[in-house]
Structure 1
Amino acid sequence: MFKVLHFLPQKKYVYLVINFRINIQPQVAALSKIQELRQLSQVDKYLTREWIFMSRPHKILVVDDEPDLEPLVLQRMRREIRNNTYEFAFANNGINALDQLNTDEDIDIVLSDINMPKMDGLTLLEQIPSINPNIRSVIVSAYGDMKNIRKAMNQGAFDFVTKPIDFMDLKTTIERTAKHLELWRDALAARDKLTSINNELSIADKMQQSILPRIFPSGENYKIAGTMLPARNVGGDFFDVINCGEGKIGIVIADVSGKGVPAAMFMMLSRTLIKGSAIGNKNPSDVLKEVNRLLVEDNLTGMFVSVFYCVVDTRTGQIFYSNGGHNPPLIVKPDGSSMFLEMESGVALGMFEEIEFKDQQFTLEPNDRVVFYTNGITETMNANDELYGNKGLIQAAKSNKDLNIEQFNQAIVSNVREFSKDVRQSDDLTCISLRYDGPASSKV
């Protein structure tokens, strides 16, 4: 099914629902049917390309002065281009990019380098909203250039990648940006239709979902799974998995204070700053310290975020971690026994300047599992005012220890929901699980 939604100027709505049962590409069929409808009705003046969802691929403008980048992008993205998922255009500086943006209404996403002749990426970023405020920008920055990354994010960039470009990371970033763009457009389309507070909560929920990773890195000797079940009133949980290189994986789980769109915006900023600060294999405590400093500097909302961040060396099983006021992860042994990771409680980020965070270390043994979670899990209550608590989490992990990591992770969240089935969910339920099979060279 193909659906087109557009607003009439009088705030009425036009819905076109078309069923296709012909053996041609859906996009071609959609555009063909729309052209037919335009000839038969007066809907044309209301049916703009901006709101024809799914009728064309996302068009990405790549702005970079390196001549080798264009053929490289076309080669690495050939499958997505062939599948009509993305279409690419290219410009070698900001001025040329503006010319294309002014003449091509189909451009959805701008992927721009920061350092370019004639007009740099930051200047370009300032100009884009005046042309089309719905375009999403992803910047390309030098490795570890947090000053420019932060400046770009403050100017409205959605995300960033670093040079040299890791194309797996780029694909994930573009996919997340495209998904966010689609959800954001849906939310905008519903904005005038909904008059209650549910409108804001719906937008916040979509923003929250759009930044969560959909694909998790995995290796010969480890697997990761993650689930976030949002509350109806939308909290601020988020998590991310960061490829730190050299067999190291960064895992962050966090919970932002507050609700609704402000919390969602603070959540997106926090997630971006953590990702940016984590690049370069810094100590986890340094990451939290840098993010705290940046959040405090621009925090006009009074919000804060509890964060647990760790780097897992998948070659050795070592976990290097630091905590900012978050719940301790649960280590689950192959026999079902478990223990909470010993750590300093720390202070949530965004509250106070010059906070020090402590680095700690733990070594996983073969077939250990680690459960990262937010307080929505352990603070769930049932109809008898009983707390799920640490006891419930420990029992759920033990009961499901033989499942694969995806099933194990989902089973924990499902167990929480079953415990509180007669009570409305009041907080996000977020859980990430890691299974470590031992050093790759020693695997049986």
Structure 2
Amino acid sequence: MVQTKVLVLGEHRSVPPDLHDALKRVGAEVHVHSPGEVLATSPGRLPEVTVVLAHAELTPHTVRAVARRLDDEGLQPAVVAYADQEHLHLLDGHVGAGADYLVPPFHTHLVRARLRDCHEKAQFSRTMEDVAAHAELLSYERELEIGREIQLGFLPDDLPSPDDWEIHVRFRPARTVAGDFYDVFEIVNRRRLALIVADVCDKGVGAALFMALIRSLLRHTAEQSGLQSLIAAELMGEETTWAEHSRAIPVVGATPLLNAVVGTNNYLTRNHIRQGYFATMFFGVLDPATGNLVYINGGHNPPVLLSASGAEPVLLQPTGPAVGVIPDVDFSLGYARISPGDTLFIYTDGVTEARSASGLFFGEDEMIRQLTAAKVCGEGLLDHMDGALSEFVGSAEQSDDITMMAVHWRPPGPQSN
């Protein structure tokens, strides 16, 4: 039998001679302490014990206090009350409190049998705890899997594909559920394309819940505002344009964009600011006929506009703070033009903050270097970036959700990616 480590517990730190001899004969390792000594011992200094032999003259309350102190150390010993002839009547209280008991005469074979029973009960108890913990883990994993399925239901199954445009996405959660999300949908009677890539702070279940909320608010508001914007424009007889930054941008695309982002920000800051969740996001509205893009970058990593001409990449910098942080904040509009052959690369910080096994970050500079060196576009560009990230990270664990979107306008004529 595995050596039993016994703590004999009594106010007077004494052990009946026949009990002491029996414990020695069965090869037990014996420690003798008073309750006060055990309770006053610093964490990590208590002896490792599997059985507490508590004298019946101690109160059940005192024995429970000692047992809890040992439990705090991760020991979880079995508790056995013992008594000499004079204190047999005190055992009832301990037995009623759930303790085993040991009575004289303390013959060796009786003590051995009691210690064996304690050892077997402890093993059984640990086995049952392991089974319960495993069952709880399986239940938790199943709930996470359900959460993952629900979350994936919030992501688009198919992406719209206007003539001559390619839109591709890579979505790799760091956990079963993610805080990243993306969306692509048509608004304004299918005349504009909404492009969203966002990152809810934190990871896991909480971030996933807010991802579902924010995505629903953005899409619903943009779709409804897009219809209202179209009606207003048709009543005016033409699409009113804004001339800002030397570009004429259709207001039909800007109105649903502003309404969606501002409305979502105000809802979150009014109702959920205590939860502390917010999202960085890039929300662009594209006119596929002209390549005009109006956007709001709410504290998000700057998307990269790659030119087919070989010109320097253009970074679409933030135009406002993260969504859900500051009540009633003003979000400015950004403007860009995608020309035939150009590609817009939108991503979350899981790309730039990917870590190698040595702890180095992938970084924005390396990302841009890889994008410009790729010589491919559309899905081929995402394949290239996937390969570059995998090579950089190596054996290190993925530390954050990764989302990448490539929006490419195919130029006329034959193309090869």
Q: TM-score band (shorter)?
A: 0.5 to 0.7
1:192/1:391 Cα in 2 relative to 1: closer, same or farther (>3 Å)?
A: same
User: Given the alignment of the two structures, is residue 248 of structure 1 paired with residue 222 of structure 2, yes or no?
Assistant: no
Of 206, 209, 217, 2:160 maps to: 217
| Separation in structure 1 between the aligned mates of residue 288 and residue 135 of structure 2, nearest angstrom | 49
In structure 1, the gaps of 5 or more residues are 1-190
Of 391, 397, 400, 1:424 maps to: 397
Q: How does 1:214-293 map to 2 (within 5 A)?
A: 214-232=157-175, 234-244=177-187, 245-279=189-223, 280-281=225-226, 282-293=255-266
Given that residues 217 and 260 in structure 2 are in contact (C-alpha distance below 8 angstroms), is that contact kept between their aligned partners in structure 1?
no
Q: Aligned letter for 2:217? A: L
Q: Aligned letter for 1:235? A: A
| Separation in structure 1 between the aligned mates of residue 205 and residue 316 of structure 2, nearest angstrom | 34
| Separation in structure 1 between the aligned mates of residue 367 and residue 203 of structure 2, nearest angstrom | 25
Given that residues 286 and 357 in structure 1 are in contact (C-alpha distance below 8 angstroms), is that contact kept between their aligned partners in structure 2?
no
Runs of 4 or more off by more than 6 Å in structure 1?
none
Q: How does 1:182-201 map to 2 (within 5 A)?
A: 194-195=137-138, 198-199=141-142, 201=144
Given that residues 171 and 402 in structure 2 are in contact (C-alpha distance below 8 angstroms), is that contact kept between their aligned partners in structure 1?
yes
Tell me how far 1:336 sits from its aligned partner.
5.2
Match of 2:38 in 1: none
1:396/1:387 Cα in 2 relative to 1: closer, same or farther (>3 Å)?
A: same
Match of 1:69 in 2: none
Q: How does 1:34-73 map to 2 (within 5 A)?
A: none
| Separation in structure 1 between the aligned mates of residue 149 and residue 355 of structure 2, nearest angstrom | 26
Match of 1:413 in 2: 386
Given that residues 413 and 431 in structure 1 are in contact (C-alpha distance below 8 angstroms), is that contact kept between their aligned partners in structure 2?
no
In structure 2, the gaps of 5 or more residues are 1-133, 227-254
Tell me how far 1:208 sits from its aligned partner.
3.0
Match of 1:332 in 2: 306
Q: Using structure 2 for the length normalisation, give the TM-score.
A: 0.55
Match of 2:251 in 1: none
Q: Deviations over 1:135-188 (max 9, x none)?
A: xxxxxxxxxxxxxxxxxxxxxxxxxxxxxxxxxxxxxxxxxxxxxxxxxxxxxx
1:202/1:426 Cα in 2 relative to 1: closer, same or farther (>3 Å)?
A: farther
| Separation in structure 1 between the aligned mates of residue 190 and residue 314 of structure 2, nearest angstrom | 27
User: Given the alignment of the two structures, is residue 207 of structure 1 paired with residue 207 of structure 2, yes or no?
Assistant: no
Query: Size of the alignment, in residue pairs?
Result: 250
Match of 1:297 in 2: 270
Q: Secondary structure at the match of 2:185?
A: strand
Given that residues 305 and 316 in structure 2 are in contact (C-alpha distance below 8 angstroms), is that contact kept between their aligned partners in structure 1?
no
Tell me how far 1:419 sits from its aligned partner.
1.0
Tell me how far 1:410 sits from its aligned partner.
3.1
Q: Deviations over 1:113-135 (max 9, x none)?
A: xxxxxxxxxxxxxxxxxxxxxxx
Q: How does 1:9-48 map to 2 (within 5 A)?
A: none
| Separation in structure 1 between the aligned mates of residue 374 and residue 203 of structure 2, nearest angstrom | 32
Q: Aligned letter for 2:178? A: G
| Separation in structure 2 between the aligned mates of residue 213 and residue 410 of structure 1, nearest angstrom | 20
Q: How does 1:51-200 map to 2 (within 5 A)?
A: 194-195=137-138, 198-199=141-142
Given that residues 254 and 326 in structure 1 are in contact (C-alpha distance below 8 angstroms), is that contact kept between their aligned partners in structure 2?
yes
| More relative contact order, 1 or 2 (CA 8 Å, 6+ apart) | 2
Q: Secondary structure at the match of 1:258?
A: coil
Tell me how far 1:268 sits from its aligned partner.
0.4
1:202/1:324 Cα in 2 relative to 1: closer, same or farther (>3 Å)?
A: same
| Separation in structure 2 between the aligned mates of residue 210 and residue 353 of structure 1, nearest angstrom | 30
User: Given the alignment of the two structures, is residue 379 of structure 1 paired with residue 353 of structure 2, yes or no?
Assistant: yes
Max radius of gyration: which structure? 2
Q: Deviations over 1:54-106 (max 9, x none)?
A: xxxxxxxxxxxxxxxxxxxxxxxxxxxxxxxxxxxxxxxxxxxxxxxxxxxxx
Of 309, 331, 334, 1:357 maps to: 331
| Separation in structure 2 between the aligned mates of residue 229 and residue 336 of structure 1, nearest angstrom | 30
| Percent identical | 30
1:214/1:392 Cα in 2 relative to 1: closer, same or farther (>3 Å)?
A: farther
1:239/1:348 Cα in 2 relative to 1: closer, same or farther (>3 Å)?
A: same
Q: Deviations over 1:2-21 (max 9, x none)?
A: xxxxxxxxxxxxxxxxxxxx
| Separation in structure 1 between the aligned mates of residue 318 and residue 202 of structure 2, nearest angstrom | 24
Q: Aligned letter for 1:332? A: L
Match of 2:244 in 1: none
| Separation in structure 1 between the aligned mates of residue 323 and residue 135 of structure 2, nearest angstrom | 35
Q: Deviations over 1:197-218 (max 9, x none)?
A: 6455444433333322221111
Q: Deviations over 1:377-429 (max 9, x none)?
A: 011111232221112221222233325x1232233133212210221001011
Q: Aligned letter for 1:236? A: G
Q: CA RMSD in A?
A: 2.4
Tell me how far 1:195 sits from its aligned partner.
4.4
Given that residues 336 and 399 in structure 1 are in contact (C-alpha distance below 8 angstroms), is that contact kept between their aligned partners in structure 2?
no
| Separation in structure 2 between the aligned mates of residue 234 and residue 338 of structure 1, nearest angstrom | 36
1:232/1:342 Cα in 2 relative to 1: closer, same or farther (>3 Å)?
A: closer
Q: Using structure 1 for the length normalisation, give the TM-score.
A: 0.52
Given that residues 371 and 434 in structure 1 are in contact (C-alpha distance below 8 angstroms), is that contact kept between their aligned partners in structure 2?
yes
Match of 1:113 in 2: none
Of 286, 289, 302, 1:312 maps to: 286
Q: Secondary structure at the match of 1:194?
A: helix
Given that residues 205 and 230 in structure 1 are in contact (C-alpha distance below 8 angstroms), is that contact kept between their aligned partners in structure 2?
no
Match of 2:35 in 1: none
